[in-house]
Structure 1
């Protein structure tokens, strides 16, 4: 029979890439980790790691076991917590993932509603970009997550997920207030010679900007990058460039002007996702709270899905 303690150790070794790093994370000695891996190899009857002088390399069997084992461990951890919650009289635990602009505009009000209606529930919040939180929803490490998709960077959702639209945001072109484009609705072609401020290379926001400009016949001259929209807007206010900012990330700053593109506006679509098979009884409460908050968030450049 496989030992779940040894399975957790194997998952950590694969994740960290070494016995020593796994030992530090688990609170064991390197020798204890080595012994557990050897015991696991004996149990399954196959060598799981190629051991070298100063490193280990996982075999394909180890990668497969770690991938499946992480899901099993997450399910076991959830079950263990549910048992403890039942014994202690708690109502359960909810683990939520979100992205920064939703953290500022949507999530606080939803959490306030949840903590008011479910005072005994344990609610945890993690913040990251959609590409980082989606795998955590799929493995069960998060119960649900807020994610987004740009018009020009569509997403395909894994079939294991239930996807609930929350709201749509218009993408706004932000320029310094003295810029000629601030006096009228802007055409993208008018900004072909500008310096641009964009999010990190490879993000959906940066990809959307590149594709949008390509459709207008030019490549944007990206001078500065930041995933923090407060930084992006401060750079625009300082007059060092222009930017494309989603409505949830926009705050009216002195010295700036923001507007949709003159022709058909582009949008970023915000959804909440969870595994369809997730039986956490708090999921329904959380999704309803998010829907109610988003209904009240609708306004300038933010609309129902």
Structure 2
């Protein structure tokens, strides 16, 4: 892949792309492309975020979801595998991942306890996977610590030249979610707390205008450093839960086992049995019927022998 395929850090975005909106949608507050235009300014767009968030002033890093702040254990290594299912886009995605992980990692001091990112070539070594998504209303969506360890890059990331060239910036934002951050803005229905200083240029902002797509700011680095340096089990009234990264295949096996256990429990409690499964009650009835038929046959046989003597 040549240099024209992707923008490295500090590169200038194409000027013919005027506006790009991110919005938060769904329970996981994932980013979504709202609109792109060659001419109207951002204020001219009619589409609103689901929480009207982009109408508010952008503030600093927000953390916490469902009453809990989930982060990784100190000095964790998050090993990323890029799926081969990207096909002809695989090398482009991998280069974008390389740019994004390098920018996060190079900001980490040796004494810093924040997680590091590492790209692996074997899925068996990975703790998370970047793979193709199918949503047409967003660029990508990621996960928080302890959730399903997948980052999906959706089709719009490849359709527009500016999106392709700035995929690494989209991933910078997604990696912020992976480290435990939500969007900058307070989103109703899912309380969060603020950490760090106000910075309108934070990588976790959910609205920006090209060519000023977000870069990783020093305020982002400082905020994450503060977050991972918290010694106790609470911050801002929310409980802190520290997660140890798990191998991706181990996580998937655990999910399969849980699903199997769920099916087994349903089979014995609800009376709804998948094809090929028989309940204990049905099995007992079948056994009783076999015994009854056997006894009747024996009685008939004895009567026949007695009659023929």
TM-score (norm 1): 0.23
Report which of the two has the higher share of strand. Answer: 1
TM-score (norm 2): 0.23
Of structures 1 and 2, the larger Rg is shown by: 2
- Taking CA–CA contacts closer than 8 Å with sequence separation of 6 or more, which of the two structures ends up with the larger relative contact order? 2
Report which of the two has the higher share of helix. Answer: 1
